[in-house]
Amino acid sequence: MPDSDFWSRHVFVLLSSDAPYRGVHADMVKRLRKEGFPPVAARALHADPELIDDLYADLIAGQWQTWRYRLVDAVLALGPAMALICRYEGDTGQQPERGAHDILALRKGYQHPEQAEHGTLRRDFGAVNSIVGLMHSSDGPAESEREAAIFGLTAADAAADPEAAAAEIDYLCQVVAPHTPEHRDFDQVLAAVRTRVLASLWEDLPADVRRRVRERFPEPAGLGEVSAGAELAALLAGHAPEPLPAFIACEFEPSAAGSMRMSVAEQALRTTGVVLDPWERVVLESSLHFQPLRASRQAVR
């Protein structure tokens, strides 16, 4: 069929590097099939900065500041991404004005995960924020064709045999699966880092301070909850060297961007011997600019 016809029913989808890194990419492929968008072509590749420049060329030239695409680079540096061509097998039903791209956009979910509805892919698979967002899909046929080509896929790569395509893509998912997937969400990342900081200070804390910390946070996982940092900083007042209290209290949300920079955060951590791993760094730094989905906030709504 002519490419214009092909791309009216096929959508380019990128499962960005955080999806394989977290081990959810295979389940996302299964979900795409369930939603009526089975992948018919796939490539796994490490997306270098030049490729990302091509993908987001219009945004970089017209809207983005340099820090934003550096964050995208950091996410894609986590490991391989999966580029897919997905064939839409449904129909537009009572909404003929909606094409395949519009329908997948709805099922994908809003770009800011805390505003995405339950039942959408981004929400259900735990996107952290709009940068660490698990997936991208093209907005229309022309964009799908252009973006697929950037990742080395064309209409000619689409498999005619759906069973053969499924077997090949499922095996590729196994090949790129990490040995130990990353399962921490935003709150769990923040709790893990604060817990390590607390451990580094523990031996030098007075007994009454230790007791108060234990009473307030009987489970260290609670250190990632909203406002837990400020409470912990207050409990440690006078016992944590500068600039550590500001780091402990920081929520790493956009409201804190004016008072906290990652360079300052990492300087504070160096005083304790704590080093952020790649996942912790990209989650915390990106969430200073883009509102994260926080389980502890959602739980009280």
pLDDT tens for 250-275 read: 999 999 988 888 888 898 899 899 99
Q: Is residue 181 part of a domain?
A: no
**Angle at the Cα of 285 from the Cα atoms of 32 and 115, rounded to 5 degrees:** 45
Is the pLDDT at 58 greater than 70? The verdict is no
Q: What is the mean pLDDT of residues 24-48?
A: 95
Pairwise pLDDT comparison (53 vs 203), residue with the higher score: 203
What percentage of the chain exceeds 70 in pLDDT?
Answer: 90
- DSSP code at position 292: P
> By C-alpha distance, which of 283, 126, 72 is closest to 191?
283
Q: What is the mean pLDDT of residues 199-206?
A: 96
Same domain, 260 and 287: yes
One-letter identity of residue 214: R
All residues at 6 or more sequence positions from 72 whose CB lies less than 8 Å from its CB, including other chains: 52, 56, 131
Is the pLDDT at 124 greater than 80? The verdict is yes
Parallel, antiparallel, or unpaired for β 39-45 and 135-137? Answer: unpaired
Average pLDDT of the chain to the nearest whole number: 90
Task: Name the domain count of the chain.
Answer: 2
Same domain, 56 and 131: yes
Is the pLDDT at 62 greater than 70? The verdict is no
pLDDT, position 69:
65
pLDDT, position 297:
81
Q: Which of 176, 195, 210 is the last residue of a domain?
A: 176
**Look-up of token digits 């989905």:** 293
Q: Which of 127, 144, 176 is the last residue of a domain?
A: 176
Q: Which of 176, 208, 224 is the last residue of a domain?
A: 176
Same domain, 158 and 49: yes
One-letter identity of residue 81: A
Same domain, 213 and 114: no
Is the pLDDT at 296 greater than 90? The verdict is no
Q: Which residue segment(s) compose the domain that 141 sits in?
A: 3-176
Q: What is the mean pLDDT of residues 211-216?
A: 97
pLDDT, position 90:
81
Return d(Cα 59, Cα 130) in angstroms, integer.
Answer: 15
Return d(Cα 201, Cα 204) in angstroms, integer.
Answer: 6
Same domain, 71 and 159: yes
> By C-alpha distance, which of 57, 41, 48 is closest to 79?
48
What percentage of the chain exceeds 90 in pLDDT?
Answer: 76
Same domain, 190 and 167: no
